[in-house]
Structure 1
């Protein structure tokens, strides 16, 4: 069996070896905002499904690249990364089908998530042998026998194929093209996305910042969360992940793992309709921000309003606030050189900071995987929403 991580590291080493002989080619990727350098030997991907992913270049004593280290979080328990996508990823993991496919069964197989989940009684050893834990069950992968989590009697397993069909039924589109699918954390979480046909364009004819909307479903098999449907935008040009500053409509809705949980389509369709209607209104608001000039002092005031500091704050808290303030100031000035000093640039700066620069918890996941989980679960949505509202008030 091939070691995926070794193959991945070797592939990236070969790529950087080629880049050394064609240094300008790699620099062109940076100039095109496909990859950015964020430290001495650290780079972040800005485009593709893996936008926001960070990789580190390990160098030898001569300064030559020896190994590339990355944390993608994909399930590799079967020896191959569990990922299907329509767009090639920079690290080459997963199966790429240009143009995508409409066949659910094919996507399940290509994404290596064509396994079932079964509930088994939870057992434990005691003095007189093995006993059954009343009311407790273990969710188990049918292909590897791996235990995924502990659940109760009422917990209903949502099979991976059922989540695909739920999204199909949700949009009432039997010929949906699947954009991506895969598994994370050993199969504990499974995701699938389809593209919503109509994109949003900010500052048409100017920045032409295109935001493509996706309808995604994230299913947990370990009993820790509900299944969720999410409308999420992907910023194609600059590659930031973000969610709407939602005020008036849900952008995600949970589906409890109970019998019939995936049958209530009408409520899900109502939420989807509200979110897509809000997305259109949000597009108009973003265009308003593009037309609003913003002084650097106004941006500083926005930072202070988002992260208020008590008068009796500790010296450590004050030092942390100064560090954050200086970091955001530098980010804003850098982006303003490309986008202009506007309210829109301020929002993009804050979104990027919250998605990729904010300290992550829990640390045991590894920084990049923890950031991905936080983005997936909407851990910074409130701050994004506050920033959007405050900037919109200035625009008006």
Structure 2
């Protein structure tokens, strides 16, 4: 029989706990020292590097000031067992979600780990009038089958595109190109869901010069609220500055969407043709970006582009003038930073504009979203694609001949 010394066991356990706390503190301080995070308020920090740059989190400390837990402003849902509804092939800064290092090619596992393994049905819209429940003819609510939670109000022609139906068409690409599912998750209680894969071939801009890396992704978003469409986008992603850019390069197709109707699934199957153009798109994208990287521009030319993107009326009010000045100041600073890295070129100008739109431009969050989540959602959904394309076309006019 083995006899356990309770005092010794307690001492060993407390020693291990203290060592763990100290190690956590050292790791946290190390991230600050390396410039990966910075304090922006009382126990509130901002991420400065990586794809999640710009997101914030709060550190909860105990009475002794030691870190107890990190509270992320991620805006992701929780599953029934309390885990975060997120799958990823590499860990995010907040350490949340279900991580499979290197990713997986199994769609069933992705749907389960991300909390996407639920269906949506429509039920009649009902209301109560003078104690009597009535049916609102022709109106329905979308409802999750796992929780019964309402997602939105829709008409009688609305046919839900189920998560599996909408996402499994990408499985062919996963199998054909030996890629893995990159990320997947649930937002706004299931009203909005997303999934993405990373294409195998990275693209280089001006390989003999600045050699800037572009990582190609395909992202799919499904909306169950009745206020959005099923959307697929081919997305160039720049790891250095965490920017997404979906420029209208020549005739290449970079995005498409379909409404929730009875024939939607058949239309989704046609997406394979669109995705087949992705290789051609990235080749053309890299060629145009390389042309910009080899085009020197003056600061005044950069200002001219800014003024075209955000024109200022002659009778603009003081507040509008102040906002314009603040925007120009921010863009000038970003242009200088990019110019130090890639030269004072049209490419640096485009980087500055895209970085501003993705991470700095004011973004008003909805009632159920933090500013960080609103910014990330807008970036994923391409809210600023039009202005990015306009900037791209304008800067292409300056390229050297």
Q: Which TM class, normalised by the smaller chain length?
A: 0.7 to 0.9
**1:249 aligned to which of 248, 252, 263:** 252
**Does 1:308 find its partner at 2:311?**
yes
CA shift for structure 1 position 189: 0.9
Supply the distance in 2 between the matched residues of 1:338 and 1:180 (Cα, whole angstroms).
30
Corresponding residue of 2:191: 188
Structure 1 182/363 Cα, relative in aligned 2: closer, same or farther at 3 Å?
A: closer
Q: Which residue, 113, 130, 134 being the options, matches 2:133?
A: 130
Aligned to 2:92: 89
1:128/1:39 Cα in 2 relative to 1: closer, same or farther (>3 Å)?
Answer: closer
Moved more, 92-101 or 359-368: 359-368
Show the counterpart of 2:25. Answer: 17
Matched, 1:390 2:394: yes
TM-aligned CA distance change 1:296 to 1:69, over 3 Å: farther
CA-CA distance at 1:313 after TM superposition: 1.3
Question: Is the CA contact (8 Å cut-off) linking 1:46 and 1:240 kept in structure 2?
Answer: no
Unaligned segments of structure 1, at least 5 residues: 1-12
Moved more, 369-378 or 185-194: 369-378
Q: Look up the match of 1:5.
A: none
Spell out the pairing of 1:363-378 with structure 2 (5 A cutoff): 363-364=366-367, 365-378=369-382
Identify if the C-alpha distance between structure 1 residues 124 and 67 changes in structure 2 by more than 3 Å, giving closer, same or farther: same
TM-score, normalisation: structure 2:
0.84
How far apart in 2 are the matches of 1:206 and 1:64?
A: 47
Aligned equivalent of 1:9: none
- Report the alpha carbon displacement of residue 282 of structure 1 after superposing the two structures with TM: 1.3
SS in 2 for 1:223: coil
Tell whether the 8 Å contact from 2:206 to 2:290 is kept in structure 1 after alignment: yes
Conserved? CA contact 2:218–2:235, under 8 Å: yes
Q: CA contact under 8 A between 2:219 and 2:235: conserved in structure 1?
A: yes
1:294 to partner: Cα distance: 2.1
Shift of 1:363: 4.9
The answer on 1:80 being equivalent to 2:83 is yes
Deviations along 1:20-56, whole A, 9 cap, x unmatched?
A: 6x54x5332x2xxxx36595664234314x3442345
Deviations 1:164-215 (A, max 9, x none): 2222357884965211111111111111112222221112254332211111
What corresponds to 1:263 in structure 2? 266
Tell me which of 128, 140, 143 is aligned to 1:140. 143
Contact 2:241 2:355 (8 Å CA) reproduced: no
Tell me how far 1:362 sits from its aligned partner: 4.2
Aligned to 1:108: 111
SS at match of 1:387: helix
Mapped contact 2:247–2:392 kept (Cα < 8 A): no
1:4: which partner in 2? none
Aligned counterpart, 1:230: 233
Q: Give the number of equivalent residue pairs.
A: 376
Tell me the CA shift for residue 16 of structure 1. Answer: 7.1
Distance 2:239 2:124 in 1: 46
Q: CA RMSD in A?
A: 2.9
CA distance in 1, matches of 2:224, 2:284: 35
Secondary structure at the aligned position of 1:201 is classed as strand
Name 1:8's counterpart in structure 2.
none
Higher mean C-alpha deviation, range 138-147 or range 273-282? 273-282
Counterpart contact for 2:78–2:85, Cα < 8 Å: yes
The answer (yes or no) to whether the contact 1:38–1:44 under 8 Å persists in 2 is: no
Match of 1:162 in 2: 165
1:8-27 CA-partner distances (Å, limit 9, x unpaired): xxxxx98873246x54x533
How many angstroms apart in 2 are the aligned matches of 1:220 and 1:14? 44
- After superposition, the Cα gap between the structure-2 partners of 1:109 and 1:266, relative to the gap in structure 1 and judged at 3 Å, is closer
The answer as to whether partners of 1:84 and 1:107 remain within 8 angstroms in 2 is yes
In 1, the alpha carbon distance for the partners of 2:144 and 2:86 equals 17
Gaps of 5+ in 2: 1-20
Does the CA-based 8 Å contact 1:181-1:192 persist in structure 2? yes
